[in-house]
Amino acid sequence: MITRIDHVGIACRNLEESIEFYRVTFGFEVYHTEVNEQQGVREAMLRINGTDDGGSSYLQLLEPIREDSPIAKFLEKNGEGVHHVAFGTADVVGETQAAVDAGVRALYPEPRHGTFGSSINFLHPKDCHGILTELVQAPDAGSHGADRH
């Protein structure tokens, strides 16, 4: 079951400048940063609020660390902006399979490593009304998306 909007991923060319914009404009502070070599990004998670299931909602700012990363390709084609919407779930494998059973293509046959050590998969934007959709399971599956540190 989908429990919340986990985050909205935003592609940016300069992570520090984007962080500063969201800090000054909306008061959002960085909750977590990391480099995800597999995805080819440096990222910052800005916590927006808590949710009913004990988790949180975030803005995820994504800066490419190499030219061949999906975010670099997105920036080249589209410029800065919303890259994807992510939904939290306690079962990324089951939720992915349910989407596949409904005729939606998953981008990966198995979940991959995501922020905070989460498990993730993406659903094809052509099957999701033009939106790249991510499914996110927190590292502690029993927490149903509880805050991750």
Any idea which residues carry the catalytic annotation? Answer: 7, 43, 60, 84, 134
Tokens of 39: 């995805």
Helix (H) / strand (E) element for 26: namely helix 15-26
Q: Is 26 exposed, middle or buried (0-12, 13-18, 19+ CB in 10 A)?
A: exposed
d(CA 73, CA 9): 15
Q: Where are the beta strands (DSSP E) in the chain?
A: 2-11, 30-36, 41-50, 56-64, 81-89, 112-113, 119-123, 133-137
Instruction: List Cβ neighbours of 32 (8 Å cut-off, separation of 6 or more).
Output: 44, 45, 115, 116, 148, 149
Pairing between strand 30-36 and 2-11? unpaired
